[in-house]
Amino acid sequence: DPSSPKSPTSPSEKSGSLNVTKITEHGKKVRKSWMSSWAVLHGSTLVFAKGQGGGTSWFGGGQSKPEITVDLRGGSVDWASKDKSSKKHVIELKIRQGTELLIQSDSESVINDWLRALTDTISTHAWE
């Protein structure tokens, strides 16, 4: 749609391996369940699909949902405070409807790139 205010060179197209868990749903704290996932950012939609990439075995993940889809519009993202997780390189993503996720990678450059992409995406879609 050429009349769309969205730039065709939007930064919000990205994919890669990330670890993810919900920590809050509908404003209520939920039990952490880290999931090794393949994350795909497309427009303002971010999808975490289970079981592709990562390959680390320390997540358990037996009770994980196979997929998490989030709408980033109106959300916020920043580094997670230390009390949210003992892991390194953790991002906290707050989205609509009282949902909070933690996103983690063992790679500092990977997580830096994701923080930049998510920050850019949220500001790009701020007026929708």
Q: Are 15 and 6 in contact (CB under 8 A)?
A: no
Cβ proximity to ligand I3S, 15 vs 33, nearer residue? 33
Minimum distance from residue 51 beta carbon to ligand I3S (Å) = 18
3-state secondary structure labels for all residues of 18-65:
EEEEEEEECCEECCCCCEEEEEEEECCEEEEEECCCCCCCCCCCCCCC
Q: Which of 7, 86, 109, 127 binds ligand I3S (CB under 6 A)?
A: 86
Residue 70 or 102 with smaller CB distance to ligand I3S: 102
How is the chain split among helix, strand and coil, in percent rounded to 5? 15, 40, 45
CA dihedral 8, 9, 12, 13 (to 10 degrees): 90
Q: Which residues pair with 95 in a beta bridge?
A: 99
Q: How far is the CB of 89 from ligand I3S (least distance, A)?
A: 12
Within 1-60, the residues that bind ligand I3S by CB under 6 A are 31-32, 34
Q: Is 87 an interacting residue with respect to ligand I3S (CB under 6 A)?
A: yes
Cβ distance to ligand I3S smaller for residue 22 or 125: 22
- Considering the complex, state which of residue 73 and residue 84 has its C-beta at the smaller distance from ligand I3S: 84
Write out the residues near ligand I3S by the rule CB under 6 A.
31-32, 34, 85-87
